[in-house]
Amino acid sequence: MLAVLLSLVLLLFPKQVAAIYGPVSVPNNRYGIHIVDTSDLPDLPTLVNSNGGDWGYVTMVLSDNDRDAGHWQSLFDHMRRTHLIPIIRLATHVENGLPAGKAGAWVKPSKDRFYEVVKLLNGLNWPTENRYIILYNEPNHAKEWGNTLDPEGYAEILVMFARQLKEANEDFFILPAGLDASSASDDLSMDEAEYLRRMVLAKPEILTVIDGWTSHSYPNPGFSGSPYATGRGTLRTFEWELNYVQSLGLSKNLPVFITETGWMHSEGKVPLRGLLTPQQVAENIRIAATVWRDPRIAAVTPFIFNYQDIPFDHFSWKKLGGKEFYDQYASYQNLPKVRGTPRQREAYTLLSDLLPAKLITGSTYILTSVIQNDGQGILNSQDYTISPSGLIPTLEPGEKGTLTIRLETPDATQFSVSVTLTHNNEDILLQQRTIELVPPPSLAIRGQLGWRTTSDAANVSVLVYDKDTLLQKFTGLTMQNGAILVEGLTDIIPGSPYRVVILVPGYLPRQVIGALQATKTTIYPKRFLPLDFDNDGAFTFADIKALLPLSPAVAFTRFFGP
């Protein structure tokens, strides 16, 4: 009964895998970009993974009207292939007239539907171990939170949703909504400091449930500020925010995710001459890199890669109506970057033993097993190595393929072998076994040459095949009274089936398929037929031609002996 109860507990409360890791604790390419249209994903690697970079970030929006799991899994699979790390910002939808008489706004998330989002997010195979989630956007603007200013209500939802995500999987990396640091307090917005103070006052546990800090470090005023400016409302807004939340009681060091930043430029549907030119924005991007090198910054994803209409056309890095980009694209692309190596869950299943329990000393083996990729990475021979040496298939998560290793056995009685994959200097053990080694066994053959009273022959050959691969060839053997002894079999796995082919001059070949044992195996081929007069290993018209010139006595001798 106790065992049954324990099984039920484990079923209802499954053990969670290891928790999140610090994104800057591994080589990290902090550069990324913010998008609104997932169809832009194929164009991003050449920007964020340029100039030495790999595994850059992408901030993207998951709204409540875009929750097709198949669609999102295909996006994540694409990002895995192209080495992009998703930062998912949750959103609801815009509804007009909430409350009555006010303009349209993003509706507040419904607490009783959190489980739907958690189920979707937890059911996806993410490209990396950390699953970065931003819980909504700039709620210190009324239009972003159901036309209300409610820091206490947002704090409650943040804590509740964060806990549900963590209960589902500890890999969720919780980020609060980025706030507008330049907004004043009025009917439409609330000063960020006041908003944060009231949030923490209502729910002090906020400071423990979040794993990082989200910042909208825009260069204000008017998204046109100097890249050298400091303090609140500049590229360094994140510094002011961290200092402020520390004064509210934050005790841990939070990695910073600048998910929105950047300058407006003069080009758009309606050119605005009072704004910076694209060339000036490009120069500001180059200067901004000195700020973004702050070691606390995990990611910076400027707003916005592509927006073809108002109100964000003047932020768009892609030119309207074409495939070309404004100058800030090249400036950002040319920034030196790091080859990121984010952690990925490594899990593989060998669907059959790769290492046999018993092998032969002094042998060379090519061993295979079907392997299934149950992890997050893409197994391949470019990023992974295997020991002992072998061939690694290319497998995306969920796929199966054949793994091959080459193994040489010593002259000993035991041989301990560990088969490991190595990726990013970390070893993944696939199988470990102490193999029993035995001396090369022998093979006894008992056969009959035609209808002769004595079955003696010279220059007999015996070939041992593993399917169609020749393992060993023994030549110059002698058959006496139908018996052939082959000694020194190597390269075989005792107990496994092999194809043994026996070649006797003048006779058609015979083969036997069966298991070869660890000591001595005796096989009984069918009667050897004396029909290979031209010794080509087959009975053809050429054999008939070779038989015709023979006298009846010679032909009789060939069949029945002297």
Tens digit of each residue's pLDDT (9 = 90 or more) over 530-561: 988 877 767 665 555 566 666 666 555 665 55
Contact criterion met (CB below 8 Å) for 504 and 460: yes
> In terms of residues, how long is the chain?
562
DSSP secondary structure string for all residues of 310-355: TTSTTT-SBPTTSS-B-HHHHHHHTS---B--------EEESS-SS
Tell me, what's the pLDDT at 533? 81
* Nearest alpha carbon to residue 144 among 119, 179, 170, 169: 179
DSSP secondary structure string for all residues of 422-459: EETTEEEEEEEEEEEEE---EEEEE--BTT-SS--EEE
pLDDT beyond 50 at 1: no
Contact criterion met (CB below 8 Å) for 43 and 55: no
Q: Find the radius of gyration of the CA atoms of the chain.
A: 36
Please tell me the distance from the alpha carbon of residue 48 to that of residue 79, in angstroms, as a whole number. 12
Tell me, what's the pLDDT at 535? 76
Model confidence band, residue 2 (pLDDT cutoffs 50, 70, 90):
very low
Bond prior to 204 in cis (omega within 30° of 0): no
With tokens 């507040």, the residue in question is: 108
Tell me, what's the pLDDT at 11? 38
- 3-class SS of residue 166: helix
* Nearest alpha carbon to residue 265 among 216, 212, 319, 217: 319
Tell me, what's the pLDDT at 452? 85
Query: What pTM was estimated for this model as a whole?
Result: 0.87
Strand partners, 236: none
Tell me, what's the pLDDT at 9? 36
Contact criterion met (CB below 8 Å) for 319 and 273: no
Q: b/e per residue, 436-463, with b = 16+ CB within 10 A? A: ebeebbbbebebebbebeebebeebbbb
Please tell me the distance from the alpha carbon of residue 275 to that of residue 151, in angstroms, as a whole number. 33
Q: Which token pair is 129?
A: 């171990």
Sheet hosting strand 497-503, strand order edge to edge: 469-479, 457-466, 497-503, 510-515
* Nearest alpha carbon to residue 405 among 362, 350, 358: 350
Tell me, what's the pLDDT at 203? 97
* Nearest alpha carbon to residue 300 among 259, 253, 254, 330: 259
Domains 32-333 and 348-438 share a fold: no
Q: Where exactly are the structural domains of the chain? A: 32-333, 348-438, 442-560
Q: b/e per residue, 102-119, with b = 16+ CB within 10 A? A: beebbbbbeeeebeebbe
The average pLDDT across 89-103 equals 76
Model confidence band, residue 453 (pLDDT cutoffs 50, 70, 90):
confident
What's the number of CA atoms in the CB half-sphere (13 Å) around residue 255?
22
Indicate the angle between helix axes 192-202 and 237-247, nearest 10 degrees.
30
Q: Comparing 324 with 536, which gets the higher pLDDT?
A: 324
**Residues 6+ away with beta carbon under 8 Å from 11:** none
- Superfamily name and number for 442-560: Carboxypeptidase-like, regulatory domain (2.60.40.1120)
Tell me, what's the pLDDT at 454? 86
Ranking 157-166, 236-245, 297-306, 538-547 by mean pLDDT, the lowest is: 538-547
Q: Which token pair is 311?
A: 């109100």
Strand partners, 499: 465, 513
**Residues 6+ away with beta carbon under 8 Å from 328:** 262, 263, 265, 278, 281, 282, 284, 285, 317
Strand 213-216 and strand 172-176: the pairing is unpaired
In whole numbers, what is the pLDDT of the chain averaged over residues?
Answer: 92
* Nearest alpha carbon to residue 103 among 137, 142, 138, 139: 142
Q: What is the pLDDT of residues 381-435, one digit of tens each?
A: 999 999 999 999 999 999 999 999 999 999 999 999 999 999 999 999 999 999 9
Strand partners, 107: none
Q: What is the pLDDT of residues 394-403, one digit of tens each?
A: 999 999 999 9
Question: For the chain, what percent of residues have pLDDT higher than 90?
Answer: 87
pLDDT beyond 60 at 12: no
Model confidence band, residue 329 (pLDDT cutoffs 50, 70, 90):
very high
Contact criterion met (CB below 8 Å) for 289 and 328: no
Q: Which amino acid is at 404?
A: T
Tell me, what's the pLDDT at 312? 96
Model confidence band, residue 4 (pLDDT cutoffs 50, 70, 90):
very low
Model confidence band, residue 32 (pLDDT cutoffs 50, 70, 90):
very high
Count CB neighbours of 561 within 10 A: 15
pLDDT beyond 90 at 17: no
Within the chain, how many helices (H) and strands (E) appear? 12, 25
Q: Which token pair is 293?
A: 């090198």
pLDDT beyond 80 at 240: yes
Tell me, what's the pLDDT at 555? 58
Please tell me the distance from the alpha carbon of residue 230 to that of residue 247, in angstroms, as a whole number. 19
With tokens 């605005």, the residue in question is: 272
Fold assignment, 348-438: Immunoglobulin-like (2.60.40)
Model confidence band, residue 98 (pLDDT cutoffs 50, 70, 90):
low
Domain at 32-333: CATH code: 3.20.20.80
